[in-house]
Amino acid sequence: MFNVNDRPSPLIEYDCEATAVKIDPVSGYFINISDIRWREYPQLEGKCTAIRDFTSGLLTSTPGITYLDHSGTTLYAQSLIDACSSDLKTNLFGNPHSGAASSQLTSCRVEDIRRRVLQFFNGSANEWDVVFVANATAAIKLVGEAFRDQPSGFDLGYHEECHNSVVGLRQVAQHSQVVKDTQTFDDWLRSRIRFSHLRRRPERPKLIALPGQSNLSGVRDNALLTAVCQKVKHEQSRGRSVYSLLDAAALASTAPVDLAKSCYRHDYISLSFYKIFGLPDLGALLVKKGPAADILLAKRYFAGGTVDLVIPGSDPYHIRHSNVHEALEEGTIPFHNILVLGHALDVHTRIYGSMQNITRHVRCITNSAREQMLALRHKTGAPVVRVYWSSEPESQGPVIAFSVLDAAGHHFRASDVELSAIDAKIHLRKGGMCNPGGVAKYLDITAKQMRDFYARGIKCSDDSRAPPGFYGAVGIIRVSFGAMSSTEDVEALTKWLRETFVNREADSLSYEDGREDTTSSTAFDGEGERKSEKETVTKLEVGPGPRPRALRRILSCFR
């Protein structure tokens, strides 16, 4: 029984020697990563995956897994959970909009964490501000809404491998165009400036949006990032309203985003902290102070906490906060998540030291995985995988996007590959990764083909309806590595690929919707007795199987 007098200390002490990585000086690999995983990431070992069945009182446990979806989210450390738990049990944190002591504590902690976030990205508070938002998508949407509210709207240029959250900005732009490289960016910018001159009207603001790293392929176009920064700065010095947005959500997960470097000095930078630390589920928009911030401050909508004065009634009037983050963080900020972020910064630094250390570690693992995957061959000598990869190693992140092929060069359906991975307890991602430009580029799919596939029920996110003999590819398989990845993960990946796909025909691996043995559901009543699928249940056990079929079986239990 918990005793109030047994309240733990707010400080959790750890053996720093035991929980800090030791680095191989040549490869950069964390030579004690197995110990780190055992101590800090028990969810990988199956130690903390026991689930109590309250109907029987028994514990069931899940064996260890191979987690290869760090681009989706990386994993949180056990010591992060311990630190957050202790802090929240020991301190009282009030709503920062109030003036009580508990609220003042919250406000002080939040502002300290905001300052530390800038330090993490090597930014100065004199030049940058941090706006906390739900995630990178919310940060991008905030920028889009502000540009949309400009009197004449705005023109948008966006990279072909942008995430859908960026592509969606074209719906609120007056004009939009895809850019692929430095030349097409220059052409876009010149054409939009010329268009304004021909119309003899004030120039519309122009926003160029780029990914720091493709979330699909892991490719980083550092040359383009640098060229855009330089060109935008040049146009701004001439008085033109040209701005750049860097979607750094994928990049920042394993690479240092150094705001002092020329390639990262964009006007707006979107981030998701769960991709860096595992927790919290929180994002941020880094805003360069000056004209770029002024555009955001001119957005029409305002909310609680963002204004100094509001006059209601027939003579409406309002004055926004002059402080950038106060004017843009609408309503009560997610202050508990921000408090978790403070602990995440501490734990991450204690374990890994720096993002540069992580960069070297994941590069070593990624290169090893790629070499082993490309070495896999069918008995005919044909490759088992086709990798979509940058030709320049320095421009490649810890991501391997690939297709699985049979000896004839036919593609295994991505949905079948995913289900096979689920059976092997390998966590990866398949589909389009919300990156339609990347899918079209790497799989050489035209817009017409995409429409035709969709009309037939074949989507990049789910190609399970592709008929036998359909050997095209509409989706991609992605594995991605993080700070706590190890060579054991690479061995499990290549072992699964070798044992499942070598010398196998594409049509021979099929989890078709009608197979009765691929999905099972069992319902129990409060006494642990088996019930029919249409009766009330308190527990479901669902085995691997096709998602559409599994979902129908689950839903039938609750009708």
Which positions are catalytic?
434
Distances (CA, A) of 41 to 7, 360, 552: 25, 20, 34
Give the burial class of 196: count Cβ atoms within 10 A of its Cβ; 0-12 exposed, 13-18 middle, 19 or more buried. Answer: middle
In 384-467, alpha helices (H):
414-423, 436-443, 447-455
Q: Is 172 helix (H, G, I), strand (E, B) or coil?
A: coil
- 266, 259 Cβ separation under 8 angstroms: no
Question: What's the rounded Cα separation, in Å, for the pair 73 and 254?
Answer: 11
The two tokens of residue 367 are 């290169």
If residue 496 lies in a helix (H) or strand (E), which one and from where to where?
helix 487-501
In 239-388, alpha helices (H):
274-277, 291-297, 324-328, 335-352, 355-375
Question: What's the rounded Cα separation, in Å, for the pair 207 and 173?
Answer: 9
- Dihedrals φ, ψ of 318, to 5°? -150, 155
Sign of CA dihedral 220, 492, 428, 270: negative
- 271, 249 Cβ separation under 8 angstroms: yes
Contact partners, residue 397, CB within 8 Å, separation at least 6: 213, 214, 218, 219, 220, 250, 251, 254, 255, 366
Q: Which of 9, 10, 35 is nearest to 21 (CA)?
A: 35
- 270, 247 Cβ separation under 8 angstroms: yes
Q: Which of 266, 204, 369, 434 is nearest to 361 (CA)?
A: 369
Question: What's the rounded Cα separation, in Å, for the pair 521 and 345?
Answer: 41
Bridge partners, 155 (sequence order): 175, 206
How many Cβ atoms are within 10 Å of 124's Cβ, its own excluded? 11
If residue 128 lies in a helix (H) or strand (E), which one and from where to where?
strand 128-133
Give helix 335-352 / helix 78-90 axis angle, nearest 10°.
Answer: 140
Question: What's the rounded Cα separation, in Å, for the pair 238 and 332?
Answer: 39
Q: Is 244 helix (H, G, I), strand (E, B) or coil?
A: strand
Contacts from 367-373 at CB under 8 Å and sequence distance 24+? Answer: 367/393, 368/487, 368/490, 369/400, 369/479, 369/481, 369/490, 369/493, 369/494, 370/400, 372/490, 372/494, 373/400, 373/402, 373/493, 373/494, 373/497
Question: What's the rounded Cα separation, in Å, for the pair 89 and 381?
Answer: 61
Contact partners, residue 24, CB within 8 Å, separation at least 6: 30, 31
